[in-house]
Amino acid sequence: MSETAETAGDVVWQSNPPGSIYDYIKMASFSIGPDGLVDQWSERAAELFGIGAHQVRGRDPVEVLIPPELRPRYHRRVKEILDGKEWTGLVPFQAGEGPGQQGLAEIYVMPSETERGERGALCLVVDVRALQRIETDLASAQAIFGQSPFGFLLFGDDLRVRRANQRFARVFGGEVGDHRGRTVYDYLSRPEADRLTGALKRVLATGDSVSGLQIVGTAPEDQERRHWSVNLYRVHSGSGRTIGVAGVGTDVTRRHNAAREAASARRDLALLNEASARIGNSLDLETTARELLGVAVPGFCDLASVDLYQSLLTGDETPPGRGGSSGAESGGGSARLRRVAFASAVSDGPLSVPGGDGADGTDGYAAPDVGAVHRFPFSSVSASALRTARVQAIPGEPGSLVRSTLAVPMVAHDTVIGLAQFSRTKGSEPFGDQDRALAVELAARAAVCIDNARLYRREHERALILQRSLLPPGDPEAAGLDIACRYLPGNTATEVGGDWFDVIELPGHRTALVVGDVMGRGLRAAVAMGELRTAVRTLALLDLEPAEVLSALDEIARGLGTPSGAQQASRVAHKSRDAELSEVYLATCVYAVYDPVTRRCVFANAGHLPPVLVEPDEEVLMLDVPPGMPLGVGGEPFEQVEVDVAEGALLALYTDGLVESRDQPLDEGLSAFRAALAHAARPLEDVCDHVLTTLDTRHGEDDIALLMARIQGLPAEAVGDWNLPREPRSVGRARELARAQLTAWDLEPLVDTVELLVSELVTNALRYGEGEIRLRLLRDRTLVCEVWDGGLVQPRRRRARDTDEGGRGLQLVGLLSAAWGSRRTPRGKTVWFELPLPDGSPAPEPSVEQLLSMF
């Protein structure tokens, strides 16, 4: 105990330092003279009892201090004390005069003697209530300190341990007293001890407490890394003197581990959420692989790569990994793969992840660059991961930047389609079990998206093949027409739709122009469109009138959309599907036939938008063709309209996707279309491009088909037309006319063949037909010969018997011509044949077998 000294004259007074026990205990003294009255009264007594010396000196202490009901007993005690007896006991007292607060004091009375030998007494008084409070405080402090489940240390102002509790001793070993005098450097590593020492100094200097200081260390008999949360506060004495710093430590290792696991789980969940949002946004294999690495690096690993089977990328139906096969090929290695993606978050890292070199025990294997085709050696860990479809760990090589690698097979629908590799470099935590599970989940999600992209690519290619097969190949050509066309599918995912156009060559150098629109979108609408387009072509080759073509097509559409057979028997159970199927085969269509000789076009419309005609120096005209009902509805006949068109006129057929959208009414779209055609004198291809770039087509909302034809009729010198009387000499006259016309056209190589075939057709018209005979020769890209008569009976080709004198004419026509046929006309029929124009080479002669086949 330190002491201070003060000098006052010759007397030296000793005093205890602040914080003495007497600062907490209320202790006083007074004395009683031989007469039993108070003769001395200390200042402490005045403070304790609340009575000044002038009020009590010379009075009976019992009368002053003791309550009235107890005074007789204490009068006897005072007499005994004055007789020389000591006495100690608890005495209730009344503070101050009159009714007031009562107290309890412990009094020690010692007999005394005056100078004259008379007996008196010295009384020492202690406030029992203060002692009780101290006892309670000590018991509470001892209970808190000794029985606390937390480690407790009391550091002195020299930062050495003054006291430790039992809990602290159990953690760090030894008895409680063994820790007295130690410092924090005896328990913690230097970096952690420096941190704690700095905190102790700040608390000791400023008095500001510290809460939740995180300290990491290990207990002597437990090498597990422990985490403690430490609270520090400065401790003072009753007088305010600083004693030291108290520290309470709580082991939060479990909480820290749980928080770390929760943070890891949140990170993994966030990574999976990011993967769901970012992986698979495009239906492209390489892009999907790059999206996987964009999520994994750097959020999950430092380096990553993706290798896919080469057969998967080239479009093979069955990847090598299907069915759990090893995918091994000749040479004892794995199947061929292509590295499609690589990502690195390490600026000075390797150019690629190990992928089987060195760590796999396969020296000499060089990690491939992006785009390179390679094989993993059969004995490598990467190849094993592909064979077994199980994730494999590849340790890093000594001295390598890569610490560890996970080789994760990418499995979709029980099929291994490739390998994803994730690597962490030195300085990153090694992969744990939770990381392995996360890597498998990331690879699986990407694998499903890649497999979907593969399936989409396959279906996309099939859809394109279907679409190309349903539309006219290349640039359609027709006699007397300059044609340009455009097709834009609304379903950009498959690039197929329900709109179609067609250009069909008819006999007599006539051309059928068709534009249609199936009510639907996507592949199903395209299939329905293909069936209707095929039906249109079939009907067109019958050379029917446009209205008759649409009527027959309407019957076909209704048949295609109506269930039959087993479907009809279960129609009640499949009403919704049948209704959907019927709707697919509802379509609109415009069918037009153009004759370049007469420059006349015949239109029929089945619920479609009207054709547009632009004649030279005239306003754009919407042709008034009765629309009729859509195909597949039935019940109403179709009408047709004949229109004479001028040389150089522009005819446009189109679908509603060109002129109508969600944000543009049909009337506005038609007006914009007419305005775009105001400069129709440009080249036809330029006109098509101008229309599509000018109109607000909102491409992607609906299919667009546009068919434009510029009228270029056959010149008069390319047509030979004669009427012949119904008499036998007309056969010879027909040969003469044909010979003269071919000579004028410089087609002498065709004269003999044409004379023979014209003779046969005119003879048949005389023999089986009716009315006047008409002969017509047309020269364009080919030579067409037509023989007209008023008979309604269509000629048919038959095999003549050996004894028949006739019946071989049409066989001869079919043998010598490129094509032949017949069609009805409003007043009879027309039989025709077609020959290619000579190109300088000799015409092929019929073989002996062909000639003998007629007999």
- Angstrom CA distances, 760 to 754, 756, 847, stand at 10, 6, 20
Q: Could you tell me the pLDDT band of residue 92, with boundaries at 50, 70 and 90?
A: confident
- Are residues 725 and 732 in contact, defined by beta-carbon separation less than 8 angstroms? no
Res 849 pLDDT > 80: no
CB proximity list for 674: less than 8 A, separation 6 or greater: 612, 620, 622
Q: Is the peptide bond before 298 cis (omega within 30 degrees of 0)?
A: yes
Q: What pLDDT digit, counting tens, does each position of 792-827 carry?
A: 777 765 554 444 444 567 788 888 888 888 888 878
Residue entry with tokens 């697919």:
584
Q: Lowest-pLDDT range, 73-77, 403-407, 603-607?
A: 73-77
pLDDT at 326: 40
- Are residues 540 and 512 in contact, defined by beta-carbon separation less than 8 angstroms? yes
CA 340 from centroid of its chain's CA atoms: 20
Res 12 pLDDT > 50: no
The helix/strand/coil state of 719 is: strand
Who wins on pLDDT, 194 or 151?
A: 194
CB proximity list for 474: less than 8 A, separation 6 or greater: none
Mean pLDDT, residues 500-518 taken together: 90
Res 680 pLDDT > 80: no
Torsion of the alpha carbons at 400, 401, 404 and 409, rounded to the nearest 10: -100
pLDDT at 558: 84
Distance in angstroms (rounded) separating the CA atoms of residues 776 and 785: 6
Structure tokens at 438: 């996360």
- Are residues 492 and 702 in contact, defined by beta-carbon separation less than 8 angstroms? no
pLDDT at 324: 43
Mean pLDDT, residues 124-131 taken together: 82
pLDDT at 603: 96
The helix/strand/coil state of 57 is: coil
Question: Following DSSP, what letter does each residue of 323-383 receive, concatenated?
Answer: TT-----TTSSPPPEEEEEEEES-TTS-SS--TTSSTTS-TT--PPPTT-EE---TTSHHH
The helix/strand/coil state of 224 is: strand
pLDDT at 418: 93
- Are residues 386 and 334 in contact, defined by beta-carbon separation less than 8 angstroms? yes
Q: What pLDDT digit, counting tens, does each position of 337-384 carry?
A: 999 999 998 865 554 555 544 444 444 456 788 889 999 988 899 999
Q: Could you tell me the pLDDT band of residue 784, with boundaries at 50, 70 and 90?
A: very high
Mean pLDDT, residues 61-71 taken together: 85
Res 453 pLDDT > 50: yes
Among 451, 346, 444, smallest CA distance to 400 is for 346
Q: Lowest-pLDDT range, 64-78, 95-109, 121-135?
A: 95-109
CB proximity list for 577: less than 8 A, separation 6 or greater: none
CB proximity list for 801: less than 8 A, separation 6 or greater: 807
Who wins on pLDDT, 748 or 572?
A: 748
Mean pLDDT, residues 235-256 taken together: 82
pLDDT at 360: 47
Q: What pLDDT digit, counting tens, does each position of 96-120 carry?
A: 655 556 778 888 888 888 888 888 8
Most confident of 105-109, 168-172, 445-449: 445-449
Question: Following DSSP, what letter does each residue of 819-842 receive, concatenated?
Answer: EEEEEEETTEEEEEEEEEPP-SSP
Distance in angstroms (rounded) separating the CA atoms of residues 2 and 4: 7
- Are residues 156 and 180 in contact, defined by beta-carbon separation less than 8 angstroms? no
Phi and psi of 522, rounded to 5°? 85, -165
Q: Could you tell me the pLDDT band of residue 560, with boundaries at 50, 70 and 90?
A: confident
Who wins on pLDDT, 72 or 681?
A: 72
pTM for the model: 0.56
pLDDT at 99: 54
Res 4 pLDDT > 60: no
pLDDT at 704: 86
pLDDT at 308: 93
